[in-house]
């Protein structure tokens, strides 16, 4: 969005731009925690079987793509995203097969960033990513420049508020400065010898500060960060979603970006926020993996116990994140059976140690997995 009000002290107007600096001591502990958590996550992943690992990767990539678009107000069909990623990864998926050429392009961008994370970043590669976001050359009803840096003399501004009451949060460098600005960023991404954690945080901020495209800058900045984070792993697979965590903290994300872009070249606050968000994403992913491992151990423990398909179906539902409390009426509805059949199934699992009563009686009676 573009208007004509200027701010006198944006970060890119500083004399030493883009010589970013940060308090290394303040970042020491967060970086150490990130390295440790990342190692623990990889350790847990190594305990998964091939199929579970593939499905974890599929879930993380699906969440990443949906969330990065949702941050910008673009809602994607989850089934379309999941089925497209599954096809690209060669994973069999039980979901509906929904073809969407726009989503296919977004998936191509994400896979190029992650799978080819060690390939050089070039302006042509960024243009290809941008073209995939806007295959019809339009953002909403407006024609935009696609697969090239933005043009024109109007200032590129980030604005909120109703017409006539707009607030300018940020103004990017003028369009004629973009090619030179991007040349510096691209060279840094290809030559800097820093931790991928640091590079991802800096590149994300640097790219979105230049705002080189007419639209899609937020999504591509997060794709660029994903590319750099993928360099942490030999197989370039990432089992956590940074964008999903940003989406959960969207207000704080925009606030810290605005403060940083209106501040000086000390970006310690941004780095700490980014690392905190990344830490939460890895912790959340570790919790999911731990749940998968517990589920695998559960089925291994009861592998010789005879149960019917209804019982197996509901037990899997409980492990996969059942919403609310499991009651006999919910069991009957899930399985399409009578209440009496549901109660027989439940009591049978309790007698075999595969389910337990929560202790609440009467109409509040509900059932849980064993402790």
d(CA 316, CA 320): 6
**pLDDT tens sequence for the chain (371 residues):** 444 445 558 999 999 999 999 999 999 999 999 999 999 999 999 898 888 888 888 889 999 999 999 999 899 988 889 889 988 888 876 555 556 888 999 999 999 999 999 999 999 999 999 999 999 999 988 999 999 999 999 999 988 888 878 889 999 999 999 999 999 999 999 999 999 999 999 999 999 999 999 999 999 999 999 999 999 987 777 889 999 999 999 999 999 999 999 999 999 999 999 999 999 999 999 998 998 899 999 999 999 999 999 999 999 999 987 889 999 999 999 999 999 999 999 999 999 999 999 988 877 899 999 98
Q: Residue 156's Cα: distance from chain center in Å?
A: 26
Alpha-carbon distances of 43 from 33, 36, 48, 274, 289, rounded to whole Å? 15, 10, 9, 23, 10
Alpha-carbon distances of 321 from 201, 316, 328, 369, rounded to whole Å? 32, 9, 18, 12
Under a CB-based contact definition with an 8 Å cutoff, are residues 219 and 66 in contact? Answer: no
Q: Which residue has the tokens 């992943």?
A: 45
Query: What's the predicted TM-score (pTM) here?
Result: 0.87
Helix locations, the chain, DSSP H:
24-46, 50-71, 78-89, 101-115, 123-133, 178-191, 196-210, 217-229, 242-248, 250-261, 268-301, 309-319, 328-335, 339-351
- Report whether the peptide linkage leading into residue 128 is cis, meaning its omega lies within 30 degrees of zero: no
Instruction: Say what the pLDDT of residue 5 is.
Output: 44
Can you list the domains of the chain with their CATH numbers? Answer: 11-293 (1.10.3290.10), 307-368 (1.10.10.10)
Instruction: Say what the pLDDT of residue 89 is.
Output: 87
Task: Please count the other Cβ atoms lying within 10 Å of the Cβ belonging to residue 361.
Answer: 8
Rg (CA), the chain: 24
Please state the φ and ψ torsions of residue 143, each to the nearest 5 degrees.
-75, 135
Mark 51-81 as b/e (b = at least 16 C-beta within 10 Å): ebbbbbbbbbbbbbbbbbbbbeeeebeebbb
Instruction: Say what the pLDDT of residue 82 is.
Output: 87
């Amino acid at each position: 969005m573009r208007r004509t009000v200027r701010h006198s002290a944006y970060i890119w107007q500083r004399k030493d731009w883009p010589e970013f600096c940060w308090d290394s001591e303040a970042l020491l502990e967060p970086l150490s925690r990130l390295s440790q958590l990342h190692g623990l996550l990889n350790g847990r992943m190594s305990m998964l079987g091939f199929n579970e690992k593939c499905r974890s990767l599929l879930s993380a990539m699906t969440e990443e793509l949906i969330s990065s678009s949702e941050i910008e107000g673009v809602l994607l069909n989850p089934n379309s995203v999941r089925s497209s990623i599954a096809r690209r990864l060669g994973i069999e998926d039980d979901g509906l097969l929904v073809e969407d050429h726009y989503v296919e392009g977004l998936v191509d961008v994400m896979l190029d960033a992650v799978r080819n994370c060690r390939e050089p970043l070039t302006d042509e590669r960024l243009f290809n990513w941008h073209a995939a976001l806007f295959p019809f050359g339009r953002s909403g009803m407006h024609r935009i420049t696609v697969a090239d840096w933005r043009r024109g003399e109007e200032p590129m501004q980030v604005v909120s508020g109703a017409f006539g009451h707009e607030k300018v949060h940020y103004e990017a460098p003028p369009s004629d400065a973009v090619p030179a600005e991007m040349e510096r960023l691209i060279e840094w991404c290809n030559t800097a010898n820093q931790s991928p954690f640091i590079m991802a945080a800096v590149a994300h901020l640097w790219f979105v500060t230049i705002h080189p495209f007419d639209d899609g800058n937020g999504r591509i900045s997060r794709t660029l960060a994903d590319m750099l984070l993928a360099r942490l792993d030999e197989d370039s697979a990432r089992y956590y979603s940074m964008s999903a965590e940003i989406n959960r903290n969207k207000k704080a994300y925009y606030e810290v970006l605005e403060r940083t872009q209106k501040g000086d070249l000390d970006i310690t606050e941004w780095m700490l926020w980014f690392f905190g968000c990344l830490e939460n994403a890895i912790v959340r992913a570790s919790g999911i993996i731990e749940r998968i491992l517990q589920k695998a151990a559960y089925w291994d423990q009861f592998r010789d116990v005879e149960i019917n398909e209804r019982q197996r179906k509901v037990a899997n539902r409980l492990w996969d994140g059942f919403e609310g409390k499991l009651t006999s009426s919910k069991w009957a509805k899930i399985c399409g059976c009578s209440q009496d059949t549901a109660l027989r199934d439940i009591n049978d699992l309790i007698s075999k140690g595969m389910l337990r009563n929560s202790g609440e009686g009467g109409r509040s009676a509900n059932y849980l997995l064993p402790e």
